Structure 1
Amino acid sequence: MRNVMTDRVLLTGISGWIAKHTAIELLNSGYDVLGTVRSDDVISQTKETISKYASIDKLSFIKLDLLSDEGWEEAAKGCKYIIHMASPFPMKVSKNRENLIPVAKDGTLRVLNAGIKANAEQFVVTSSIAAMFRKPNRSNPYSFSENDWTDENWVEGVNDYFLSKTIAEKAAWELMESKGIKNKLTCINPGGVFGDALDTKGGTSIEYVRQFLKGKFPATPKWGILISDVQDVAKSHVACLGNSKVGGRRLIIGKEVKTLLETSKILAEALPDYAKKLPKKTLPNFMVKFISMLDSSAKTMIPDLELEMKPETKYAEDLIGFKFKPASGALIDAGKSVVRLGLV
């Protein structure tokens, strides 16, 4: 076991759902964590949530804005590792495809540049398979790996979120390559992340589970996604630190792809009290397209309807040294936590 007693990690966007899980994993592994927040009012809840799962003796906070240079260099000083997680993931799709790029891309470059100036040893950036699998004319089933990129010029198929993830990750690699330190960067690319909400401020995926359990969806689109367990995602970030094998790599995190109907069945079995409200049939594609005109959150699925996704993930398990969990556990944890926290 290496000595992490003095190893300090700058973790951006610590009040975010996946970031809280990552902070818990870091603190329980002995790291000193400096978490960035956009406003002071999220600090107390974040601290309270994390303290239920880890000692917070080595946890501190700093208020910083991804759209402003101010304070980043100061924050990165003395940090051996930089984990950049803060990035927008809204439920609704904006008509302006460029909408999220300033925060996603400029924010990423701001954090990386601050870390480079502070001589940080290693950088781990949270990306997404959203930066990998969207392109026109895909085969079905569709396989993709760490060498694949979403086609940012595909206007109909690549919305604001997909575009922001792709452009931000490409910018990160270009910057590190231009400095000759590409091997100091690793990107973590999960699919749909599910798991314990921890508190009432869970992420977008938790909101989808909540809406499912509330009976908002009488039927589901014919759509599937790689399911990533939030604990695997958190653990993957931490497993990269001090691990020379992951330098210059993009790691796809997750074991199984599940359709929304399969997800519904898993939740119905685990939470029989909610089984009646969960969808039991699929929607025809034309209906999804019609609904998307009224509800932009449905738009994000249209390019992948009836497409069977086959991501390559085994190499990531080999590089970080642990096996990813099956999808059902993450989905059940999400459902049970939504009920436990009184969100339905």
Structure 2
Amino acid sequence: MKKLFEEYKRLVKKCSYSEKNYYDVAEVAEDHKFGVSAEGYPLFFIAIKEDGNTPPPVNLKHLKVRYNQQCTVIHENGMEEVGIYCMIQLTSTSESLCRIFLNIFQRYIEGLGDKSNAYEIKEQIDLYVALFMGLYTPAQSTVQGLWAELFLIACSEDPNYMINVWHANNYSKFDFDDGVCRIEVKSTGEVDSRKHKFSHQQLIAPVDGGLFVASMPVIQNDAGVSIGELIEKIRRRNIDFDSEYKLYKLVIEVLGSDEENFDYYFFDERVALEMIRFYDSKDIPKLKDIPSVYSGITFYCDFASIAPVSLEDYCHYNLISNIKF
């Protein structure tokens, strides 16, 4: 797979066309191309067969799609070519969003083959457009909490498996759940504190499996690792397309409109690696005899006096044996 991010940076430096509908491009696959706009935004050009039917354009916060667009592309050798394309453009300066955009659409385009008409490609493009709809919504969680979950995925032996059981469905109470074993990830911004907030249900283990709490300090450090860098670290483990799509989808949904958080905050990976601890929910004190009229109960639990467990003792659970430090 061609490294389009490096190609993108090269084209930004080269771009000299401010004239409308003229673009410097590089080949991606077949007649499909990649280029940059006059503003320096990344663009894909999907060659299509014009049949007189043009789907409506898409205008999102950071994504634009135009069908049946006639434009002139300038190849690396200087040759000009006029063609009809579906143009897909990201309009964001976030490096991590740019990488997501390039990775998603490059995989799609490399599998396209010959030209199709606009409506034949619209259905699949709409699926990827939906991915970026999450940038309209408020953030669902903290950057610190998301970083901790991504860190655990990055430390796994099989990231495809780990991503598959990560927020496995809309009803899951736990961060990782394979139906037999569950892991709830908790983070703190202090090295000397393991006080975490729980809902009452998060500490009740299912009768048919195990439940563990992963506790780690997530400490800001300008020389550390960002959300975007953790995503790239996971992606480079040759995860499959379904896992990659889910990874991007959940991250975008969690960060929402705070897309600058992809690259703005950095956390100390060494501290997290050295100080992560796991606890069996059986060893954590529970609230008992709660009247049925109460619901939505949350509380803080201080783990200072609770003994952590060794993962080696629980390797009969696939979820636990998949974690390697």
TM-score normalised according to structure 1 size: 0.22
Q: Which has the larger radius of gyration?
A: 2
- Could you say which structure has the higher strand fraction? 2
TM-score w.r.t. length of structure 2: 0.23
